[in-house]
Structure 1
Amino acid sequence: MARLVVPTVTVQGSFLAAWDEWGVEAERWMGAEAFVGGEEEQWSREEAADPGEFRRLVEGIVGAAEPGAVLAAGIVPYTMLWFVEGDEWLGRLSIRHELTPHLLELGGHIGYGVRPSARRRGYATQMLVQALPVAAELGIDPALVTCDADNVASRKVIEAAGGELEDERHGKLRFWVATKLK
């Protein structure tokens, strides 16, 4: 069964295969950036192929969620989780622990992406539903989740997870999703 996990080096091969599927947009969707010693680092596809560099990437991603993590200016603390089935990397999800004015307008608390070859299988909905208790543990309730106004698939994901539409701003639909069971 596919599940959200703390990033791990065991999925390096399928992580790189997913990166290849995404192509030019991969830098954004793969989450190939992390904060090491308070400095933002970004990894290219070639760098992430090196086991040592991939380990550094994973450690940096995991470290961003630790209390007291030193992040770059303007970056809020966040928890990134990977959606995997066995050693197969299917996608990633980020939970921002707080909202800046910009995130309140456009980005929200939770963002997610599913690798192209794994889409249309319900994974995005599973990811979002599995993330809600994690967000609740972080003190987030409700969570703001946004999507492009013309992204019907993402809208359906958010609604399936219990999202209630508040409004549209700057081409983004803004939904509030309860993270705690009532």
Structure 2
Amino acid sequence: MPELVLPTTSVRASFLEAMDEFVAEGAERSQTAAWIDHNAPGWRDPQTFAAFVEAVRADALEESPRPEWHVPCTTLWWVDGGHYLGRLAIRHRLNDFLLDVGGHIGYDVRPTRRREGHATAMLRAALPWALELGIDPALVTCDDDNVGSVRVIEAAGGELEDVRGVKRRYWVPTTR
């Protein structure tokens, strides 16, 4: 059964296959796309991949160095045994950009595993993590034309606040 876990080297082979899927799809404007831009193909080396995993995990720490426009972020991977299915990021607080466009929580599912309910399950599973970080409610955004994400967010209890440009902004309770 899939579960959210902290990034781990144990799913390296499947993670790399998933990244190849995102590249083939032409992934843009996501954390996954940024990872690919900054790390591939170097992370095919197991030691480089291990360093990448540690850096992603360290990004959750307040004291970790980061660009001034970034906030601490807990990244979780949606895995089923040794299979990487997707990733989810919980941003610990909102800056102006995140309040307008990015939100507290962002996610993506590997292309070959979409339309299987993973995004819905991932978002629901992330809400207790967000609550533990003191986030309630969580802002979750998606493109206005992304019908799949609209359904995912609304299934998690998201209430539409507004649409700003091409972004729909929802507030999702982290307590039930």
1:175 aligns with 170
1:128 alignment partner, SS class: helix
Specify whether residues 11 and 31 from structure 1 end up closer, same or farther in structure 2 by C-alpha distance, changes over 3 A only. Answer: farther
Q: Please give the alpha-carbon distance, in whole angstroms, between the structure 2 residues aligned to 1:10 and 1:26.
A: 26
2:32 aligns with 30
2:48 alignment partner, SS class: helix
1:17 aligns with 17
Q: CA deviation at 1:159?
A: 0.3
2:74 alignment partner, SS class: strand
TM-score calculated relative to the size of structure 2: 0.93
Q: Please give the alpha-carbon distance, in whole angstroms, between the structure 2 residues aligned to 1:67 and 1:106.
A: 22
Give structure 2 stretches of 5+ with no counterpart.
none
1:42 aligns with 38
1:145 aligns with 140
1:93 alignment partner, SS class: strand
Give structure 1 stretches of 5+ with no counterpart.
34-40
- Contact kept, 8 Å, 1:146 with 1:172, in 2: the verdict is yes
Q: Please give the alpha-carbon distance, in whole angstroms, between the structure 2 residues aligned to 1:91 and 1:121.
A: 12
- Contact kept, 8 Å, 1:4 with 1:127, in 2: the verdict is yes
Q: CA deviation at 1:173?
A: 0.5
Which portions of structure 1, spanning 4 or more consecutive aligned residues, are displaced by more than 3 angstroms? Answer: 26-29
1:160 partnered with 2:160: no
- Contact kept, 8 Å, 2:27 with 2:33, in 1: the verdict is no
1:120 partnered with 2:115: yes
Q: Please give the alpha-carbon distance, in whole angstroms, between the structure 2 residues aligned to 1:168 and 1:30.
A: 24
1:80 aligns with 75
Matches within 5 A, 1:101-112: 101-112=96-107
- Contact kept, 8 Å, 2:128 with 2:174, in 1: the verdict is yes
1:7 aligns with 7
Compute the RMSD of aligned alpha carbons. Answer: 1.6
Q: Please give the alpha-carbon distance, in whole angstroms, between the structure 1 residues aligned to 2:100 and 2:28.
A: 24
Q: CA deviation at 1:27?
A: 8.8
Structure 2: which amino acid aligns with 1:43? Answer: N
- Alignment size in residue pairs: 173
Q: What fraction of aligned residue pairs are identical, expressed as a percent? A: 51
- Contact kept, 8 Å, 1:146 with 1:173, in 2: the verdict is yes
